[in-house]
Structure 1
Amino acid sequence: MQRLLLLLLLLLPIVCKVNTMQCPAGDPIPVPHEWYQPGDLLIGGIVSQIFYHSSEIKFKEDPSQELLEVPHIVTKFYQHALALVFVIKDINDDQKILPNATLGFHIHDSYYDARMTYRTTLDLLFKSHRFVPNYICDTQKNLIAVIGGLTSGISINMADILTLYKVPQLTYGSFAAEEIQALQSFSFYSMVPNESHQYIGIIRLLQYFGWTWVGLFVVDDNTGEHFLKTLEPLFSKHGICSAFTKRIPEQVSMENVDEILNKIERIYVSLTDKKARTLICYGESLTIAWLRIVNLFHDHGHKENASFGKVWVMTSQIDFTSTGPQRNWDFQLFQGALSFTIQSRELLDFSEFLQSIKPSRTQADGFLKGFWEQAFDCLFPDPEMPMMDDDTCTGEERLESLPVGIFEMHMTGHSYSVYNAAYALAHALHTFYSSQSKHRPRVDGSSIELQSLQPWQVDLFLQNVAFNNSAGVMVSFNDKGELSGGYDIMNLVTFHNNSFQRVKVGRVDPSAEEDFTINEDLIVWHKTFNQVLPLSVCNEHCHTGHHKKKKEEKKFCCYDCAPCPEGKISDQKDREDCFQCPADQYSNRNRDACIPQIRNFLSYKEPLGISLASVAVFLSFITAVVLGIFIKHKDTPIVKANNRDLTYTLLLCLLFCFLSSLLFLGQPCIVTCFLRQPIFVIIFSLAVSCILAKTITVVTAFMATRPGSSVRKWVGKRLAIFIVLTCSLIQASICTMWLATSAPFPDLDFHSVSGEIIVQCNEGSVTMFYCVLGYMGLLAITSFVVAFLARKLPDSFNEAKFITFSMLAFCSVWASFLPTYLNTRGKDMVAVEVFCILASSAGLLGCIFAPKCYIIVLRPELNSREQLIRRKH
C-alpha cells in the first residue's frame, strides 16, 4: 500500500486519468490561455507543453465528483513564449526591417492535446474566442505565419489545417526525417537541422569513446519506433550493439497499477546493468521525468547508488525539467550526461528582458499568473481563499533565483529557434515589401496595403531567405526547408542545489570542415567513474595478439578472444581478425608484431658449412694424391690392369665430384643454381660410366680367354670408350633438355620454416630433376649387377670385387638420400645432398682405389706381373 501511495504521488504530474475517476461532464479542455499583442501583421505561435493535463485528487462530499482537472505547468517551456515576445519587440524597434508595419502575435498553448491544437490553430486563423471556420469576423487578423510546435505530434496536427490555407509554418522542434518528408509542402519549414545529423553524431560519439554495448530508452510512440528503426542498422554497420531496448510510456493511466509497477521494475533492472554503462535516451522531457521517478521509487532517501553510474546520451528534444513534486529532486542521476542540443548563441539583451518580466508590468499574458505560481511555489492573493503569508506571491520574485530545471535564464536551443523563425519571417516580409514598392504606386502615403497581404505571398520569399542574425550567425534554409547547420554536444554538470550547468564539449555539423569534434578534456563524468573514461562493452577488450571469436547465439559485440594463428598478428585491440605478415616477415611469439625473417641457406661461415667444405677439400686432396700415385706408377702392372685411361678418367671424375659439392654451399645465385645440379649429375654419370666400362672390360677379358670365343673382338679400349661416351652423352642430353625447357633458378621459400626465409634453388622442372637422378641410379644399379656377377672371376687383381662393394655403398647412400631429401627443408636439404655426394664419391674412392694404393705404396712386391697372372687353386 505504501508503494502504491508513493507511486500515485510521483505520477501526479504525468497522469491524465486515475482509476474510477473521470473528468467532469462537458468539454474537458481547459479555458485557452493566450498572450496577445496587436499589430498590423500577426504571427501566431503554439507552444507545446507549457500546460498539460494532470490530476489533483480532491475528496468531495459529492461522490459523483471525485476529480477536478487543473492545468499543470512545465515552467521551463515558458521561455519559448518569452523568446517570441522578445524577438517581436526587437523587430518592431528596428525601423530598417519593417519601417511601415508592426508585427503582432497570438501565443496559444497546445495543452499536449490534439483537440486543443486544432482548436487553437483554427482560432489563430479566424477569431479570438468564438470562431466560425472559413469566415473572418469580429477582430480582424492579418495572419502571415505560425511558429510551432515543439513536438512532432503537435506540428503535424497544426499542419493538417495550415496547409489547407497555405499559411507558412515554422516549427522549432526536432523531427525525424521520415516525418519531415510526410510534412513536405510549400509552406512548412523546420528551424532545426535534420535529425539524421544526430544519428551520425551518436555513432561518431560511441566510436570515439569505444562504447559498443549500449542501452536504449525511447519514448513509446511513432517517433521512438522510427528512431529505433533508423539507429539499429547504423549500430550493426559500425560494430555497436544494443544491450537492451526499453520503451518509456508517453502517458500513463492508473487503471492498471500492476502494469506500471512492472514497467518501473523492468526499467530499474536495466539501469543496474553493469556492462551497459552508456545509455541513449530518445524522447521528450516526460521521458526524463519517468527515469527520475524510477530512480526515486527504488531509492526513497536519495541514497548514493553506485550502480547508477551511467553515461547518458540525450537527443535534442529532451530537456531537463522539474515540475510538481520533482522540483525538489536533484539531477545527480544524469551527472556527466552528453546531450545533443540545437546550436544557439547567447543574446545578452534576452537575459535583460527576462529580468524585466514582472506580473505587474506584463499585460495580456494569460500564462504569466499560472507560471509565476508554479515557478515560485506560491499563490497570488484570492479574497475567497485563506492564505498563509509564506504562500503569497509578491510579484517581486526574481526569475534568476530559480533552479535551472524550473526556469533557465540562458537562451535554450528551442528558444533560439523561435528567435530565428521570427527574424526569418521579418526578412521575408522586408524582401516582399521591397519588391512590391518598386512595382506598385503608393496609396495614401503607404507603399503597401497591409490588409491585402496573403500568407502564401510571404511563403514565396521565405523559401530563399538568408540573413545574419544579431549574433552574427547565417540563417538560411536548404532545399528541403530545413535550417542549415548541426548540433552542439553539451556536458551536464550537476550541483547539489538541484541545479546544473551545460558545458559545450563538441559539435556535429556535416556542413563544417570537421563534421564531428569532441574535447574529451572538458567532459565531467559521473562521480562514480573518478574522471576515468568509462567502459561500455559486452566484455573486456581483446588484447593485441588476439582476435574476436563470435559467441554462439550472442550479438556480435559479445565475443571470446582467441590467439592469432602462426604467421598472423593483431597489433590493435579488438581486431575482428588477425592479418598475415608480409612475405619477408613472420609473427613474433606474442603475435602482435611482424619481424624480419632470417635468410636460411647453407653458409660457409657456419659450422655445418665449414665442416662439409673441409671434408670436400680434404677428399679432393686425397683424390689428387691417389691420381698422382697412379701417374707416378703408371708403368706398374696394377695400374695398367683394366685400362689405365679409365682409371685416370675415374679419378678425375671423383676429384670433380668432390669439388662440385662446393657449388651447393653459400647463398644460391643464378650461376650456381644453373650449374650445380647438371655438373653434379654429368660428372657422376661419367664416373659411374667409367666403373661400368671397367666392369664390362673385366668380363669381356675373361670371356675372351675361352677357346673360340667371339667376344675377343670386343676386347680393347674401343669398348670402354664407347660405353663411357654413350652413357655420358645420354645424361648430358637429358640435362640439356632440362636447362633448355625449365632451368633451375634462385627462389625464396617463405612458408616452409616459421621465422625463416629459405633461400634455395628451385629445380624448375621437378620431373627433369628426378629423371637425371633416375638415369644415374640406373647406371649405378647396372654397374652393381654386372660387378656382382663378375666378382668370382679367377684373377688376383679382379676389380669386380671392389666395384661390387663400391656400387653397393653408392646405391645404399643414394637410396637413403631420396626419403631424407624429401623430408628436410632449407639448408638441411642442401646438407643432405652434399653429404650424399661426398659419401658416395668417398665410397667409390675407398672401395676401388684404397686396395690398389695399399699394394702400390705399402706392398710393392705384390705389384708384379707374376702376381697379376697368378691363379687361385
Structure 2
Amino acid sequence: MIFAIEEINNRTDLLPSIKLGYQIYDSCASVPVAVHVAFQLTNGHDLMFYKGVNCSPSGVVMATVGESGSTPSISMSQILASFNIPQVSHYATCACLSDKHLYPNFFRTIPSDQFQADALAKLVKYFGWTWIGAVNSDSDYGNSGMASFLNVALREGICVEYLESFFRTDPSRKIQRVANAIRRSTAMVIVAFIASGDMRVLLEELAQDPPPSRQWIGSESWVTDTFMVKYSFCAGAIGVAIPQSVIPGLSDFLLDLSPSEVAASPLLSEFWEDAFNCSLRKSTGSVRSKKLCDGTQDIKRLENPYTETSQLRVTNMVYKAAYAIAHAFHNALCQEKNVTTKCDKLLKLNAKQIYSELKKVNFSQNGYHVSFDANGEPVAAYEVVNWQVTESGSTEVVTVGYYDATLPMGQQFHINRKITWMQGRSQVPVSVCSESCPPGTRKVLQKGKPICCYNCIPCPDGEISNITDSPDCYPCPREFWSNAKKDACLPKPVEFLSFKEILSIILAAFSVSGASLAIITAVVFFRHRTTPIVRANNSELSFLLLFSLTLCFLCSLTFIGAPSEWSCMLRHTAFGITFVLCISCVLGKTIVVLMAFKATLPGHNVMKWFGPPQQRLTVVSFTFIQVIICTVWLVVSPPFPVKNLSTYKEKILLECALGSAVGFWAVLGYIGLLAVFCFVLAVLARKLPDNFNEAKLITFSMLIFCSVWITFIPAYVSSPGKFTVAVEIFAILASSFGLILCIFAPKCFIILFQPEKNTKKHVMNKN
C-alpha cells in the first residue's frame, strides 16, 4: 500500500499537486484490536501524520483500506458506517458483506465468496464428482462460504458425505475429530473452505497419521499459500485463486532497502532480523542472542516470498484498493479544463463524498480493470491452480486454467494446461457414492442416504430409459415394445396365422388334401353313377354334398393370412353357408332314407311327397335361411380386422373382430340346430332293416360333427391369439373329414375293392 500511495503521489495525471497521507494499523487478526482501530479512525481529530506546509489542517479519515479477514471487516464496517467512512477491503470475501442494508459503506476489490462458492461447486461438477467431503473454518469466512457452496452444490446434484467445521483455537480433540472424519471417509474429494491459518492447523494434525490419498479442492485463502505445499499428501490439490499480477516497480521498491531505513522501522527491523537471523541492536544482559547484523546482508540475494513478486495475488487487491480511493479523491477534487487537470486543494471534503465517488469508480491500472457494482463488488474472475510436483521433488502452485463469471453458462471454465491429480495420476479421480445407472435402468434411492446414493433397477418390460441416471422408466407407445436392453422402443411384432408358419402349412395341406379327397370321391361316384350303391344313395344329393364338402375344406384357407376387411367377412360367412349346405344335404339324405323305408310299407306312398324337387327345395331353403342370417350380420355389424393389443403386451395380434357377436353365434347356432336335427333323424333310422343302411353312416358322421363343434366352443374361447384361428380351422377340417370319411369311405371301398357287393341283389339284401 505504501508503494501504491507513493506512486500515486508522484503522478501528474492523478491528483496533481495533491498528496495522500496514510497511517497503517496492525489488527493482529483480532476482532477486538480491529474494533479499537476503527474507533481510532473515526475520532475525526487525530494528529496530523505529515506536517508539511501544504498539508490539510485536519487528520480526518476519508477512507480505509482493509481489513484482511471477513469477521474483523464486519466489525469495522458496522462502526465506520455510522460516520459514512467508506471501507475498501482487499481480502474480506464473506458473501454476507454484499448486503448493502447491513454494510452500506463496504467495497472490496476481491470477489465475494458467493462467486468463489459458485466456482468451486461448478469445478466439482465439471470433473463429474458427486460424492464429496466438506470442511470449513468456523468463522464468518468459512461458514458463509460453505453455506453458499452447499447451496450451489445442491442445485448441481452434488452430495456431501460429511461436513466438519473448526477454528484454529479449538481444542485438539475437535481438530482430531475433523481429521478422523477425513481418514474414514469414502469420498475421494474434499472441498476445504478454510482460512489459511486454520488449514495449517488441520494439515499438521493430518500429517501425524496421513490419510488415504484424497483429492483436495481449495478456496483461495490457502490453495496458493506457499507454506502449505510441504504437505505431500495434498499434492495434486486444485482450487480457485485470485489472478496473479505483475506490478511494475514493486520488486525494486521492496528490494531497495538500506540498513538505516530498516532500523528506522520496527516492522522492517523485525522482518530483517528474522530473514537474516541477526540482530540490528546490541544485546544487553547475560541472555545469549543472535549475532549482530554487520551490513553485509543483501536482501536481493534473499529467497523467500517477500522477494518473489511474480506470484503476487492478494497484493494486487491492495494495490487496486489504494488506486480506487485515489480515483474517488480525484473525481471529487479535480476537473478537466483545456486538456489540463485542475484540482481544488482548498475544497473541504467529507467521507460521504468519497463514498459517493467510489461507487462510480471505473478505471484500468496495469491491464486490470477496476469498478464496483451496486453491491460494491468487482467483476468475478479466478485462476484455476494445481499443486504439481516438479522433477526436483518439490511442489509448486501452477495455473492450469481460469474461471470467468461474466461468460455464458458452460464457457466459464477453461482448462488450458494438464492437471496433475492425487498421487501423481493423469486420470481424473472418480468420486461417486453410486456408479451411474446405464440406459435401461432407473435410479432408486437407498433408504436413509443422500440422493447420490442409489441402486440401479432394470426397467420392466414395455418401459425404457434412454439416458444415463434416469429417475424413471417411461412406457412405450401402445404399438411399441422395449428391446432387450430396455433403452429403446421398437415396433411390436405383428402376429397372425401366416402361410409361412409350419402350423399353417400343415393345416393348408390338410385343407387341400380334404378338397382333393372330395373331388376324387366325386369322380369315383361319377364314373360309377350307374351302379346300385351310387343310385341307392341318392346320387344327386351325394354330388351336392361332395361339392359342399369341397367348399368346406377350401374355406378354411380363408382363415390363413393377414386379416383384411374382405377376408374377415368372407371367412365367417363362407364357413357358415357352406356348412349349412353340407348339413342340409346330409339332412336330405337322412330324410330320404326314412321316407324310403316308409314307402316299402303297404298303403304308404310318401316318396311322391319327397322326390328330387322336394329334396332340392329342402336344401335350398335351409341354406337360404343361413344366407339371410349372414346378410343381416354383414349389413348390421360385419366382421372387421383389428389389432389386438391386450392379449399380449409384447406383440400385436391381427385378428378378425366378430363385429356383432349375436350374428356370429346365430350362424353357429343355426348350424348346430341343423346338425342336432340331422343327428336325431339318423339315430331313428339307424336300425332300419337294410343291407346297406346309410343312416348308420350318417349317425356316426353327425356324432363326430357334433362332438367336434361342442369341444370347439371352449377351445375357441380359451385359445390365445393366432391359435384361436387354428382351432377354428381344425374344427372345420375335423368335421369335414368326419363327414366325408364316415359317409363316403365305405361306399368307395366297396365300389373300388369289393365290386361283387355292388349289385342290386346285395343292396336289397336278397342273397
Partner Cα distance (1:410, 1:705) in 2: 137
> 2:13 aligns to what?
96
The answer on 1:790 being equivalent to 2:700 is no
Q: Indicate if the aligned counterparts of 1:704 and 1:712 stay in contact, CA closer than 8 A.
A: no
The answer on 1:396 being equivalent to 2:396 is no
What do the CA deviations read for 1:704-742 (whole angstroms, capped 9, x no partner)?
888789999688233333222213422442344332xxx
The answer on 1:280 being equivalent to 2:191 is yes
> 2:648 aligns to what?
752
The one-letter code matched in structure 2 to 1:114 is V
Partner Cα distance (1:389, 1:456) in 2: 52
The one-letter code matched in structure 2 to 1:729 is I
SS for the counterpart of 1:287 is: helix
SS for the counterpart of 1:557 is: coil
Question: How far off is 1:331 after superposition?
Answer: 2.6
What do the CA deviations read for 1:523-548 (whole angstroms, capped 9, x no partner)?
11122x63333222335555676554
Q: Indicate if the aligned counterparts of 1:505 and 1:523 stay in contact, CA closer than 8 A.
A: no
The answer on 1:369 being equivalent to 2:269 is yes
The one-letter code matched in structure 2 to 1:466 is N
Partner Cα distance (1:677, 1:100) in 2: 114
Of 601-610 and 619-628, the range deviating more from structure 2 = 601-610
**Cα gap change, 1:867 to 1:792, in 2 (>3 Å):** same
SS for the counterpart of 2:299 is: coil
Partner Cα distance (1:786, 1:486) in 2: 103
Alignment match of 1:841 (pick from 715, 736, 739): 736
The answer on 1:312 being equivalent to 2:216 is yes
After TM superposition, the structure 1 = structure 2 runs for residues 464-479 of structure 1, keeping only pairs within 5 Å, are 464-471=360-367, 473-479=368-374
> 1:339 aligns to what?
239
SS for the counterpart of 1:851 is: helix
Question: How far off is 1:247 after superposition?
Answer: 1.5
- TM-score using structure 2 length: 0.82
SS for the counterpart of 2:378 is: coil
The one-letter code matched in structure 2 to 1:415 is T
What do the CA deviations read for 1:402-449 (whole angstroms, capped 9, x no partner)?
1x5x88523544333333333434444444456x6679xx9xx95424
Question: How far off is 1:280 after superposition?
Answer: 1.0
When the two chains are superposed, the root-mean-square deviation of aligned CA atoms in Å is 4.4
Partner Cα distance (1:750, 1:363) in 2: 98
Q: Indicate if the aligned counterparts of 2:630 and 2:667 stay in contact, CA closer than 8 A.
A: no
After TM superposition, the structure 1 = structure 2 runs for residues 595-614 of structure 1, keeping only pairs within 5 Å, are 600-614=495-509
Partner Cα distance (1:361, 1:292) in 2: 38
Question: How far off is 1:389 after superposition?
Answer: 3.3
The one-letter code matched in structure 1 to 2:284 is E
SS for the counterpart of 1:782 is: helix
The answer on 1:195 being equivalent to 2:97 is no
Alignment match of 1:659 (pick from 537, 547, 554): 554
Q: Indicate if the aligned counterparts of 1:491 and 1:505 stay in contact, CA closer than 8 A.
A: no
The answer on 1:737 being equivalent to 2:636 is yes
SS for the counterpart of 1:662 is: helix
**Cα gap change, 1:869 to 1:576, in 2 (>3 Å):** same
Of 106-115 and 490-499, the range deviating more from structure 2 = 490-499
Alignment match of 2:749 (pick from 854, 861, 869): 854
Determine what percentage of the aligned residue pairs are the same residue.
Answer: 29
Question: How far off is 1:227 after superposition?
Answer: 4.6
Q: Indicate if the aligned counterparts of 1:399 and 1:409 stay in contact, CA closer than 8 A.
A: no
Question: How far off is 1:507 after superposition?
Answer: 2.1
> 1:70 aligns to what?
none
Partner Cα distance (1:407, 1:684) in 2: 113
> 1:62 aligns to what?
none
Partner Cα distance (1:234, 1:704) in 2: 108
After TM superposition, the structure 1 = structure 2 runs for residues 320-719 of structure 1, keeping only pairs within 5 Å, are 321=225, 330-347=230-247, 349-356=249-256, 360-361=260-261, 367-374=267-274, 379-384=279-284, 386-389=288-291, 396-398=298-300, 401-402=303-304, 409-433=309-333, 447-471=343-367, 473-494=368-389, 500-507=396-403, 509-512=405-408, 514-519=410-415, 522-527=418-423, 530-539=425-434, 547-567=442-462, 576-577=471-472, 584=480, 586-588=482-484, 600-630=495-525, 647-669=542-564, 671-673=566-568, 675-688=570-583, 690-692=585-587, 695=590, 716-717=614-615, 718-719=617-618
Q: Which runs of 5+ in 1 are unaligned?
A: 1-83, 132-136, 253-259, 300-304
> 1:36 aligns to what?
none
> 1:73 aligns to what?
none
Partner Cα distance (2:215, 2:263) in 1: 44
What do the CA deviations read for 1:242-277 (whole angstroms, capped 9, x no partner)?
21122222533xxxxxxx343233223222235211
Question: How far off is 1:279 after superposition?
Answer: 0.6
Q: Indicate if the aligned counterparts of 2:443 and 2:455 stay in contact, CA closer than 8 A.
A: yes
Partner Cα distance (2:474, 2:312) in 1: 50
Partner Cα distance (2:259, 2:710) in 1: 114
Question: How far off is 1:219 after superposition?
Answer: 1.6
Q: Indicate if the aligned counterparts of 2:137 and 2:193 stay in contact, CA closer than 8 A.
A: yes
Q: Indicate if the aligned counterparts of 1:702 and 1:793 stay in contact, CA closer than 8 A.
A: no
**Cα gap change, 1:447 to 1:127, in 2 (>3 Å):** closer
**Cα gap change, 1:547 to 1:360, in 2 (>3 Å):** farther
**Cα gap change, 1:629 to 1:580, in 2 (>3 Å):** same
**Cα gap change, 1:499 to 1:625, in 2 (>3 Å):** closer
Q: Which runs of 5+ in 2 are unaligned?
A: 49-54
SS for the counterpart of 1:106 is: coil
SS for the counterpart of 2:220 is: coil
> 1:294 aligns to what?
205
> 1:18 aligns to what?
none
**Cα gap change, 1:397 to 1:556, in 2 (>3 Å):** same
> 1:121 aligns to what?
38
> 1:17 aligns to what?
none
SS for the counterpart of 2:637 is: helix
> 2:622 aligns to what?
723
> 1:212 aligns to what?
130
Q: Indicate if the aligned counterparts of 1:267 and 1:294 stay in contact, CA closer than 8 A.
A: no
The one-letter code matched in structure 1 to 2:355 is D
The one-letter code matched in structure 2 to 1:761 is E
Q: Indicate if the aligned counterparts of 1:428 and 1:465 stay in contact, CA closer than 8 A.
A: yes
**Cα gap change, 1:749 to 1:515, in 2 (>3 Å):** same
Q: Indicate if the aligned counterparts of 1:358 and 1:396 stay in contact, CA closer than 8 A.
A: no
SS for the counterpart of 1:388 is: coil
Alignment match of 1:164 (pick from 63, 70, 82): 82
> 2:669 aligns to what?
775
**Cα gap change, 1:646 to 1:244, in 2 (>3 Å):** farther
Q: Indicate if the aligned counterparts of 1:218 and 1:248 stay in contact, CA closer than 8 A.
A: yes
After TM superposition, the structure 1 = structure 2 runs for residues 79-94 of structure 1, keeping only pairs within 5 Å, are 84-94=1-11
Aligned length: 751
SS for the counterpart of 2:686 is: coil
Partner Cα distance (2:39, 2:605) in 1: 140
The answer on 1:240 being equivalent to 2:158 is yes
Alignment match of 1:267 (pick from 161, 171, 178): 178
Q: Indicate if the aligned counterparts of 2:440 and 2:458 stay in contact, CA closer than 8 A.
A: yes
SS for the counterpart of 1:155 is: helix
**Cα gap change, 1:514 to 1:486, in 2 (>3 Å):** farther
Question: How far off is 1:215 after superposition?
Answer: 1.0
**Cα gap change, 1:735 to 1:401, in 2 (>3 Å):** same
**Cα gap change, 1:788 to 1:283, in 2 (>3 Å):** farther
The one-letter code matched in structure 2 to 1:293 is E
Of 389-398 and 714-723, the range deviating more from structure 2 = 389-398
